Amino acid sequence: MKKLFGRLLILGALAGGIVALRGYARKGAAPTDVVQVTFDDGSMLSFASNTPQGEELADIARKLVETGV
């Protein structure tokens, strides 16, 4: 029973390490902008810039920031 528990512990540690490395590798990827639209009633929609709607809204937001609005 102790051998089985030890093997499961090692297997869990390896799996956790792999998951941690994958997460770290993804953070190194190019970041995507996120556009959040908040409405008067408090509801919110989020769009990633790699979607058609998000790309359009991100371009508008960049132009607004450039003009200083």
End-to-end CA distance of the chain: 67
How far is the C-alpha of 49 from the C-alpha of 31, rounded, in Å? 10
Which amino acid is it at 56?
A: E
Q: Is the pTM of this model over 0.85?
A: no
Residues 6+ apart with CB under 8 A from 61: 35
The pLDDT tens digits of the residues spanning 13-68 come to: 778 877 877 777 666 555 567 888 888 898 888 888 788 888 888 888 888 888 88
Query: Where in the chain are the domains?
Result: 1-30, 31-69
pLDDT digits (tens, 9 = 90+) for 33-43: 788 888 889 88
